Structure 1
Amino acid sequence: MNTTSNNIANANTFGFKESRAEFGDVYSASIFSNAKTTTGSGVQTSIVAQQFHEGSSIYTNNPLDLRIIGNGYFAVANDKLATQSNVLTRNGAFHLDKNNNMVNSEGQYLLGYNVDTETGQVSSFEPKSLQVPDQFGQPRASENINIGLNLPAGDAAKDPALFNAEDPDTYNKAMSATIFDSLGQPYKLTTYYVKDNVTPNKWAVYYSATDAAGEKSLSLTTGEFINATGHVGHSVEFNSDGSVSNLNGGQPLTTIALGANGAGLEMNGADGTQALTINFNEPTQYASPFEMHKFNENGATTGYLAKVDIDPKGTIMATYSNGENIALGRVAMVRVSNQQGLSQAGNTQWKVTQQSGAAVWGEAMQGAFGQVKSGTIEQSNIDMTQELVDLITAQRNFQANSRALEVNNEMQQTILQIR
């Protein structure tokens, strides 16, 4: 009854595993007794065994709430510097503490692995505490601009020498992106495309940069086209099949400095010698509309945490306000060969013992490990209906045993009173 009552009491405890009392009969005999007529001496509890089948799911709006679908346990530690002293749990209710560490309600640190920020693969299987920084990265000045696009072959030709960024009639198309200086200050970079009215399949490209004071011309160090104000642009030539044949006559596509001695941007103490290198990625000229399928740069400003996602492999992906998506780590998974050998530690946690076998560390969706599901918590695996039935059954058994003892006592009293 105690086991059943404990199961019922923990019906709403996340990650709780029900217990089952297993009994054995008591039998004793001596060399002077007759084995054929000796009866048992009662019953005793052999073991209270936990049942490790999965519980149902409860869905939350917290991406740090995790559950394991399949085999495995989370590992948590009281000291993030002593991760070898850890316990196992299926309770995946985690949150961030004041230092942005992932912890449970007891303040224990969730353990995981370092990952390569570029590939997202585990770089070290040494368990460590997982942290989600609320700020990421130092400002990084833009250096490379990558452009991939299609220029429409049927557009009307114009005179590149008459290009004026303030007059839309002097160019065919324009597109903008944000660039950053060494302090993380943003500027708008605009590219203008003018179809040459002299040479077929040839386009002129001009650039400008915009600061708080307004738009300023951003010339290249070398270029074929120069408008009336001295703004230097470059050429893009195409073959008859629409593929690119020539970019700026083979000269590098490098802009002048952005600062006072170049384009004249107000950079407020940032590196004024910063220049941009333009890279065209297989531009085309087809009889289809203008399409910019790539326009990015490698700069960044300081980013602040905007969102956290955890994928089925347990990879923690943080999105920051500067557009950076960073893989911060991967949740560690642990399993043992004999779950019944685990020692209960309270708070729906278990310790590895000699009977359970050594802890096997790994990652989700690898080998025998299950997958991680974010925004979900595993409920207890208690079947309340069955537990209530077991409680009533135990009560009836107790009453029957009590009545048997009463009858035995009455029979003995009757025998003693015979004269």
Structure 2
Amino acid sequence: MAFNTGLSGLRAASVDLEVTGNNIANASTVGFKGSRVQFGDLYASGFLSSGSNPIGDGVRVQDVAQSFGQGNISFTDNGLDMAISGDGFFILNNGGEIRYSRAGQFTIDKNGFVINNQNMKVQGYTADDDGNLSGIRGDLQIQTDNLAPRRTTNLTSSLNLDSRESVLERRIRDFAPIGIGSLRGEGFSFSYSDGSTDYSVPAIDANASARDAAAAINAAPGVTATATTSAVLDGGLDDNFVSTAGDFRLELQVNNSGAIPLDLSNVSSLDDVAKAINATSDNAISASVVDHDDDPLTPERLRVIHSGGDKLDIAYGDAAAGALPAPTTFEGEVLVTTDRNVSQATSDAGTTNFVDTFDATPFTVTNEFNPIDQRTYNHATSTTIYDSLGNDHKLTQFYVKEPSPGNGVGQSQWSVYLQIDGELVGGTDQTPYTATFDQDGELQSVNGDPNGEIIITDWTPKDPSGDPNGADGPPADPDSVVSPIPEPATSSAFVLNLADTTQYGAAFGVNDQRQNGYTTGRLSGLDVSGEGVIFARYTNGQSKSLGQVALGAFSNTDGLSPVGDTTWVETFESGQPVIGAPDTGTLGSIEASSVEESNVDLSAELVNLIIAQRNYQANAKTIETSDAVTQTIINLR
């Protein structure tokens, strides 16, 4: 009996030594789970009773159980190495056999499949060509093809336009000259688009000069009036008359104030007469020689101009002929210009040229927007967009502050110009878009669209030489383009969204600018997220999900059967696995570029080794002692 008891102890201690030695041998094995021996005592027992004085029959190994506790996580330089932080196993396809492992040392084979060191393929959820993950589980495969280009169909700009900026662009209505005779006795009223109070010009005096009329009209806000008097002397006054006359004379009076002294003693041509007039002390008067009606066959004529619009009386002739003829009277005319704030002009007593043509007179921009002249716009920002071939193009947005609509309270307006590769698009070469902001600086609309969207339908992608580059061009029917642009896109049309643009009293700034296009990209690296999603990084700065690692968990992890290579297989005792994505349910998360180390505590195992050795020696002593007792009995004879 004692021999059997000691022998069972030797066997148990030997198993303990083997398990401890196996743990020590795998102390550096990634994903290894240490085992421990579970012992049970042995007693003789009958059918109904174990006896009154039971004596044990020794010990037996009941089980060798593995400890599935978390091992330490260490970082590596392999982007595809993965460690599970929490519950779960990697699912591996070993030629059709499904195995489970905590060892996440993965690489890629020649066909792009993610495998472990034993060429077992990692299982996960596959992704489509656009990177959308599906619920279909299969072998994870990394596609190394180039990422095809994507055209820009949406551009979102979040800007702040400085509300403190001044209005740069000046638009005016410039009317035809009006003779003073048409203005005398007239009164005028001007209305304003910004809600300012109408301004009334009193009736022009019946004896007023053009200078007086211009001064009265010029007093109206937003109205500029200037007067000038131009006298072209016809009626035989030419070089021949001046040179052949015995004593050429010319008298010039301004507003009947007396003849202006002129030195005509040595004149022999109209040019000499013009020089004599220009030499007077009255700087408002000037003279020049012109072709009548710009006809080179017509004799030259003398033109005298009074820049202030005063009345001119001019008489000329030959002194030898006696008294000069009666003077010819020339009265001035008024030039009227109104800016864009003047919405209407009316005449009190009758009609005048500029009132009659007010609505029909187009605006003239005196400092028209010019993308190469930064003085003609307040702000500008550029971003890169892409055509259907993946070629990059520079889109520049220009913002020009406009006068406030209405009465200037509660609203602000900006003009928006768009340029791609130096060419204005979106029709802004003719008419810019108008962005309207409320009293809080929030965008109200762009051309009446409360969503703040601009749809560009007239862009033709071109190469550096300015010729179409073969990419998709404008849509055949621009009116059919809607936002958002459906996929796949079939034209160069895209949407510019300014909904998040503001107008605050702060410096201009680009808060965010995003577009959905990109050029061709080559695979440059792989990243793994905490959810086990494998992302491909491309040289064009884009990334795309290629798949997601799947994890499996068991109700009874201890029921798994180890089959080597740091893997386990499902058994009846373990139950069927619950499979899902990492970091969902009870499944753990993924640590990328990391591995889970063995959970073996080497110090504890060395102590266990000593204990197993002691147990082995003690059981051997039991056998030795039993042998000595037996030998004593034999020696009694």
Scaled by the length of structure 1, the TM-score of the pair is 0.84
Alpha-carbon distance change, 383 to 278 in structure 1, aligned in 2, over 3 angstroms: closer
Gapped runs of 5+ residues in structure 2?
Answer: 1-16, 170-364, 475-491
Letter in 2 for 1:155: E
Moved more, 355-364 or 191-200: 191-200
CA displacement at 1:13 relative to structure 2: 0.4
Match of 2:122 in 1: 110
Alpha-carbon distance change, 367 to 303 in structure 1, aligned in 2, over 3 angstroms: same
| SS class of match (2:138) | strand
Instruction: Say whether residues 1:141 and 2:151 are aligned partners.
Output: yes
Deviations 1:240-290 (A, max 9, x none): 442334423669642523246x99844543234434443322432221221
**How many angstroms apart in 1 are the aligned matches of 2:436 and 2:633?**
120
CA displacement at 1:345 relative to structure 2: 1.2
Alpha-carbon distance change, 246 to 25 in structure 1, aligned in 2, over 3 angstroms: closer
Deviations 1:69-107 (A, max 9, x none): 22211111134xx5xx31111112222333333221112
Counting only pairs closer than 5 Å after superposition, residues 333-348 of structure 1 correspond to structure 2 as: 333-348=551-566
Contact preservation (8 Å) 1:135, 1:302 = no
Correspondent of 1:270 among 467, 471, 487: 471
Contact preservation (8 Å) 1:150, 1:284 = yes
Alpha-carbon distance change, 23 to 150 in structure 1, aligned in 2, over 3 angstroms: same
**How many angstroms apart in 2 are the aligned matches of 1:157 and 1:405?**
109
**How many angstroms apart in 2 are the aligned matches of 1:360 and 1:396?**
43
CA displacement at 1:165 relative to structure 2: 2.4
Match of 1:349 in 2: 567
CA displacement at 1:380 relative to structure 2: 0.9
Correspondent of 2:458 among 256, 259, 265: 256
Correspondent of 1:280 among 483, 489, 498: 498
Match of 1:155 in 2: 165
Instruction: Say whether residues 1:68 and 2:84 are aligned partners.
Output: yes
Match of 1:213 in 2: none
Instruction: Say whether residues 1:42 and 2:58 are aligned partners.
Output: yes
CA displacement at 1:330 relative to structure 2: 2.4
Match of 1:170 in 2: 376
Task: Answer with 1 or 2: which has the greater Rg.
Answer: 2
Q: Taking every aligned residue pair, what percent have the same amino acid on both sides?
A: 37
**How many angstroms apart in 1 are the aligned matches of 2:454 and 2:382?**
21
| SS class of match (1:41) | strand
Correspondent of 1:205 among 396, 416, 427: 416
Contact preservation (8 Å) 1:218, 1:255 = no
Letter in 2 for 1:220: G
Letter in 2 for 1:132: I
Scaled by the length of structure 2, the TM-score of the pair is 0.57
Between the two proteins, the alignment pairs up a number of residues equal to 399
Moved more, 128-137 or 10-19: 128-137
Correspondent of 2:629 among 411, 415, 418: 411
Contact preservation (8 Å) 1:219, 1:233 = no
**How many angstroms apart in 2 are the aligned matches of 1:202 and 1:384?**
75
Moved more, 136-145 or 7-16: 136-145
Gapped runs of 5+ residues in structure 1?
Answer: 211-215, 227-231
Correspondent of 2:435 among 199, 221, 236: 236
Counting only pairs closer than 5 Å after superposition, residues 389-404 of structure 1 correspond to structure 2 as: 389-404=607-622
CA displacement at 1:153 relative to structure 2: 0.9
Contact preservation (8 Å) 2:425, 2:459 = no
Moved more, 176-185 or 309-318: 309-318
CA displacement at 1:138 relative to structure 2: 2.2
Measured on the aligned residues, the alpha-carbon RMSD in Å equals 3.1
CA displacement at 1:17 relative to structure 2: 0.8
Moved more, 152-161 or 36-45: 36-45
**How many angstroms apart in 2 are the aligned matches of 1:358 and 1:252?**
56
**How many angstroms apart in 1 are the aligned matches of 2:454 and 2:60?**
88
Instruction: Say whether residues 1:302 and 2:520 are aligned partners.
Output: yes
Instruction: Say whether residues 1:247 and 2:247 are aligned partners.
Output: no
Alpha-carbon distance change, 347 to 154 in structure 1, aligned in 2, over 3 angstroms: same
**How many angstroms apart in 2 are the aligned matches of 1:24 and 1:43?**
6
Contact preservation (8 Å) 1:117, 1:326 = no
Correspondent of 1:12 among 13, 28, 44: 28
Counting only pairs closer than 5 Å after superposition, residues 180-199 of structure 1 correspond to structure 2 as: 180-196=386-402
| SS class of match (2:598) | coil
